[in-house]
């Protein structure tokens, strides 16, 4: 974690040193010590002790963003999300619209499940478009929200920058699969295999998608066959069987004759639906290819 140069601390300390018994130089020394000590403890993941040094720095002055930021960071690590949000917001107000703390506050919102995450991460990415951590956070967020179209768009942008990144291609292929776009999923898996022909995991994924495509095709063909069978039967019943039966009845008994409705017209769809569902759920759909 980068510490601010002492030059950025001086103006605020000059302004706020009047009410202290310590000299200006001693306040600068103490403040700098507390910040460095806090940073060291954070590196050791000793967050509770770090917080005490951060609070000591803030007592000297609360007008410098670094201590406020560190308090937000440690609060986040201690899962005190409300405090983290409050302190990151203060730091942002001090640092201005170019503040990198937008990403840290976005992480807080992400952990809270707050949709404000997108506002903050988008704002950060506008200012720092090459921040890979921020871009990854956004992609993962969209995927977890099952907003696959937007997630794919984000992966498209990333892949345009690095067309041979296997991890990005694999992720996009997986998203295409989740989004039901199996053909594009296959294309990405094939691109990965061009770059890494021995990738057994990708070979398995590709074969699984091809099998699913084949099964879906066979299911659709079966469904079309059953529908066609019913339509043919209806046409045959109304335009062939019924006229023949009516003609035969008139020839045999004479006079007007009305044939009752064919019960199979209403029963057959139910029977065919049961047949289709049984075959589908038992996974015994025939292979028509």
User: Stretch 38-54: mean pLDDT, rounded?
Assistant: 96
- The fraction of the chain above a pLDDT of 90, given in percent, is 60
Residue 6 confidence (pLDDT): 37
Residue 2 confidence (pLDDT): 44
CA distance 5 to 91: 17
CB of 72 closer than 8 Å to CB of 104: yes
Residue 204 confidence (pLDDT): 94
User: Stretch 252-264: mean pLDDT, rounded?
Assistant: 55
Confidence of residue 257 (pLDDT cuts 50, 70, 90): very low
Query: Who contacts 256 (Cβ-Cβ below 8 Å, separation ≥6)?
Result: 250
Tokens of 248: 């035969």
User: Stretch 123-151: mean pLDDT, rounded?
Assistant: 95
CA distance 54 to 118: 29
CA distance 133 to 206: 29
User: Stretch 178-204: mean pLDDT, rounded?
Assistant: 95
User: Stretch 259-276: mean pLDDT, rounded?
Assistant: 71
How buried is 267 (Cβ within 10 angstroms: 0-12 exposed, 13-18 middle, 19+ buried)? exposed
Q: Which residue has the higher pLDDT, 225 or 247?
A: 225
Give the residue from 108, 26, 22, 9 showing the smallest Cα distance to 62: 9
Confidence of residue 4 (pLDDT cuts 50, 70, 90): very low
Tokens of 64: 């410098």
How buried is 35 (Cβ within 10 angstroms: 0-12 exposed, 13-18 middle, 19+ buried)? buried
Residue 229: how many other CB atoms lie within 10 Å: 13
User: Stretch 8-26: mean pLDDT, rounded?
Assistant: 59
What is the residue whose two structure tokens read 């990965």?
192
Q: What is the DSSP letter of 9?
A: T
Q: Which residue has the higher pLDDT, 258 or 181?
A: 181
CB of 188 closer than 8 Å to CB of 173: yes
Confidence of residue 144 (pLDDT cuts 50, 70, 90): very high
Tokens of 78: 């201690």
CA distance 61 to 74: 18
**Residue count (the chain):** 289
Q: Which residue has the higher pLDDT, 182 or 227?
A: 182
Task: Quote the distance between the C-alpha of residue 251 and its chain's center.
Answer: 72
């Amino acid at each position: 974690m980068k510490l601010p140069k002492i030059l950025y601390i001086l103006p605020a300390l000059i302004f706020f040193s009047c009410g202290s018994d310590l000299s200006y130089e001693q306040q600068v020394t103490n403040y700098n010590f507390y910040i460095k000590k806090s940073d060291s403890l954070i590196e050791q993941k000793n967050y509770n002790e770090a917080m005490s040094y951060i609070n000591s720095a803030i007592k000297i002055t609360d007008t410098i963003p670094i201590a406020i930021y560190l308090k937000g960071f440690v609060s986040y690590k201690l899962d005190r999300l409300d405090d983290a949000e409050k302190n990151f917001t203060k730091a942002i107000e001090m640092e201005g619209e170019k503040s990198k703390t937008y990403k840290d506050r976005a992480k807080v919102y992400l952990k809270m499940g707050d949709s404000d995450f997108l506002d903050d991460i988008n704002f950060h990415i506008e200012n720092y478009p090459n921040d890979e951590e921020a871009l990854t956070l956004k992609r993962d967020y969209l995927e977890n929200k099952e907003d696959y179209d937007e997630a794919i768009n984000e992966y498209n942008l990333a892949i345009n920058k690095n067309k041979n990144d296997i991890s990005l291609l694999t992720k996009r292929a997986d998203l295409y699969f989740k989004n039901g776009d199996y053909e594009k999923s296959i294309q990405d898996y094939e691109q990965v295999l061009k770059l890494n022909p021995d990738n057994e995991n990708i070979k398995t994924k590709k074969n699984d998608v091809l099998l699913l495509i084949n099964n879906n095709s066979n299911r659709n063909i079966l469904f079309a066959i059953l529908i066609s069978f019913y339509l043919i039967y209806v046409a045959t019943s109304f335009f062939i069987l019924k006229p023949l039966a009516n003609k035969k009845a008139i020839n045999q008994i004479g006079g007007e004759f009305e044939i009752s409705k064919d019960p199979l017209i209403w029963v057959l769809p139910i029977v065919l639906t049961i047949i289709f569902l049984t075959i589908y759920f038992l996974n015994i759909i025939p292979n028509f290819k």
